[in-house]
Structure 1
Amino acid sequence: MIQTIDFHVPELESMKVYPKPLYFLGNSKLLKRPKISIVGTRHPIHYTKMYTAELARKLSLAGVCIVSGGAQGVDGMAHQSAGVHNTIMVAGTGLDIRYPSIHQNLISEIEKEGLVLSQFEVGQPSLKWNFPVRNELVVALGDALVVTQADLKSGTMHSIEFALKMQKPIYVLPHRLGESAGTEHLLTQGLATPLYDIDAFVSLFGKSDFICNDDFLIYCDTHPLYHEAVEKFAGKVFEYECLGKIKVENGRIKRI
């Protein structure tokens, strides 16, 4: 059932106008967790996919909730890699609409186990001027903004503008020349910090007692499909199930 947030969220004071009402589906307690916003292109290269996934996964395991906008590409990868139970998706539509359609299943899972937010009333479609509104909320919620890949003329650059106005720290993945013109521009202007060491970054924002170095358990925190986990890790699935470290629910593996 769609509800409205009934408590004050201090991070949202950085927005031009504090959002009221703010609609939600899911676990509103995630708003009280440490949070990092991760955004980027809808068409990431393999390098970006790999490190976006690693970053979101390790931050999540260190007790940090991942915030993004649910879009195709970097956004969806950030949500999925964090684990649907530890991510906040900010929608650019009313919460009766799961947009984009390519992420309908992912959004449904976040609604059940994570948190989906929107400033838009039920029935509001995906209009182009909705997305700057969404982007401002994504940026405001995070203690920092991470941009893993961006073109110069893109919605991601609007998110960066919000971060600069809010004086949020901005971090970017370092790319080869020509791969990510938006983040290259930020670095040349001294507006962002390059993210050379993911573990060091995680230690800045996460809690050390949360950090896990077991690759299989890290993978299980993304709630993978059982058959995919067996293909990827073979004997470890059975071993860890016997040890009581994981369980299988509805065809997916979950960490205990």
Structure 2
Amino acid sequence: MTPAERLARLRLIRTPHVGPVSWHQLMQRFGSGEAALQALPDLALRGGSGKPRIASVEVATREIDRVAALGARHIFSDEEEYSPLLREVEGAPPAVIIRGDMAMLQRPCIAIVGARNASAIACRFARQMAVDLTARGITVVSGLARGVDTAAHVGALGGSTAAVIASGIDVAFPPENAALQEKIASDQLMIAEQPPGTEPLARHFPARNRIIAGLAQGTLVIEAAPKSGSLITARRAGDFGREVMAVPGSPLDPRAQGCNQLIREGAILIQSVDDVLEALGPIDARMAREPRRAFIETLAIVDTGDGDRDAVAGLLGPTPVAVDEIVRQSGRPAAAVQLVLLELELTGRVTRHAGARVSLM
């Protein structure tokens, strides 16, 4: 990939209203970041807006220089080093910023997540589980949060661990994990989607959680409240077709309610590392499988007219609706619906939600 193409792709990522799904659609339709940037004004105009605010060359160049100065680098989704498991999920990050050794992701990966205010016994279990998994050649993936995440990373330091953070690669969060974050970045693998200098805002954590779930063959939850981020990670794992596992806890402990609920919903009950290995089966075979073909494959050969736009726009509202449902009710080809949604997203009129759902802004 040429430096000019890398710069164009990064500008596309940082352009307002270009999310992961629309970025992949633009790349698939136009074949390169440079061509997609040239097409943006026309697409935005067709979606009912004026000239889009495309990220400047200066903004993208500063980010590339800053990332390099930090000893990190961008990896785009079609590059060989990018995780094949992450590449196949809905809304995969167009690029990630990494410090460390991407070879960590060539091993089988298990995500361990859980409560920030975890009990001492939960932290002990997470730490020992990480020790046992890494001893079997497995990389432990987590989010470097307080509690269970921290315990899992600490337990995996003697083997291999990957931390996915919601901030920029140069921002330590939580602050007390600054030394651990630096150790993981130096000796293991640190992954960020946000540009350097980004503080960890609330909206960044669900995006971070989808990466954790996407990197791993299975997600293990150890203590989680009913509406916690750990359950978001587990449910995204289920959406991606990965195994969801949970450690049961006392019904008297609110921190165990989320795990117990997951088990009631069909998650695999875990009491030891052997349970994890049994649940996942021959995970080496999963690592070697072919990635799924992108659902946006036909966008390169489709175009839209006013009839398509009116039919799709008339079915949208403030409540998220599945794209498949819009296809069914509109009677339009799936590729035409996707292209209309892309045009509307570029104008800021449509937002995307987990589970391939969309709504009006």
Q: TM-score range by the shorter chain?
A: 0.7 to 0.9
- For 2:269, the equivalent position in structure 1 comes to 194
Q: Deviations over 1:226-255 (max 9, x none)?
A: xxxxxxxxxxxxxxxxxxxxxxxxxxxxxx
- Larger RCO (alpha carbons 8 Å, 6+ apart): 1
Taking structure 1 as the reference length, the TM-score comes to 0.76
Pairs within 5 Å for 1:124-163: 124-163=198-237
Query: Partners of 2:128 and 2:278 in 1: how far apart?
Result: 14
Runs of 5+ unmatched residues, structure 2: 1-70, 283-361
1:103 aligns with 2:177: yes
Query: Partners of 1:140 and 1:16 in 2: how far apart?
Result: 9
Query: Partners of 1:98 and 1:32 in 2: how far apart?
Result: 26
Pairs within 5 Å for 1:75-86: 75-83=149-157, 86=160
Q: Give RMSD over aligned pairs.
A: 1.8
The correspondence for 2:259, drawn from 158, 174, 183, is 183
**168-177 vs 13-22, greater mean Cα deviation:** 13-22
- SS of residue paired to 2:239: helix
Displacement of 1:134:
0.4
Query: Partners of 1:104 and 1:33 in 2: how far apart?
Result: 26
1:9 aligns with 2:79: no
Q: Report the CA distance shift for 1:122/1:85 in structure 2 as closer, same or farther (over 3 A).
A: farther
Q: Report the CA distance shift for 1:14/1:51 in structure 2 as closer, same or farther (over 3 A).
A: same
Q: Report the CA distance shift for 1:90/1:198 in structure 2 as closer, same or farther (over 3 A).
A: same
**148-157 vs 170-179, greater mean Cα deviation:** 170-179
Displacement of 1:178:
2.6
Displacement of 1:14:
3.7
Q: Deviations over 1:171-193 (max 9, x none)?
A: 11121213201011112222x01
- For 2:305, the equivalent position in structure 1 comes to none
- For 2:111, the equivalent position in structure 1 comes to 37
Q: Deviations over 1:110-130 (max 9, x none)?
A: 011000001111111111100
Displacement of 1:109:
0.3
Displacement of 1:10:
1.2
The correspondence for 1:122, drawn from 193, 196, 201, is 196
Runs of 5+ unmatched residues, structure 1: 208-256
1:2 partner amino acid: A
Displacement of 1:202:
4.1
Q: Report the CA distance shift for 1:200/1:156 in structure 2 as closer, same or farther (over 3 A).
A: closer
Contact 1:132 1:158 in 2 (8 A): yes
Query: Partners of 2:106 and 2:188 in 1: how far apart?
Result: 13
**76-85 vs 143-152, greater mean Cα deviation:** 76-85
- For 2:140, the equivalent position in structure 1 comes to 66
Query: Partners of 1:83 and 1:206 in 2: how far apart?
Result: 24
Q: Deviations over 1:188-225 (max 9, x none)?
A: 222x0111333343466699xxxxxxxxxxxxxxxxxx
Query: Partners of 1:112 and 1:132 in 2: how far apart?
Result: 26
Q: Report the CA distance shift for 1:204/1:162 in structure 2 as closer, same or farther (over 3 A).
A: closer
Query: Partners of 2:276 and 2:224 in 1: how far apart?
Result: 20
Report runs of 4+ in structure 1 exceeding 6 Å deviation.
none
Displacement of 1:144:
0.4
1:90 aligns with 2:164: yes
* Equivalenced residues, count: 206
Q: Report the CA distance shift for 1:203/1:186 in structure 2 as closer, same or farther (over 3 A).
A: closer
Displacement of 1:85:
5.3
1:46 aligns with 2:120: yes
2:265 partner amino acid: Q
- For 1:232, the equivalent position in structure 2 comes to none
Taking structure 2 as the reference length, the TM-score comes to 0.54
- For 1:166, the equivalent position in structure 2 comes to 240
Percent of aligned pairs with the same residue?
26
Contact 1:67 1:142 in 2 (8 A): yes
1:26 aligns with 2:96: no
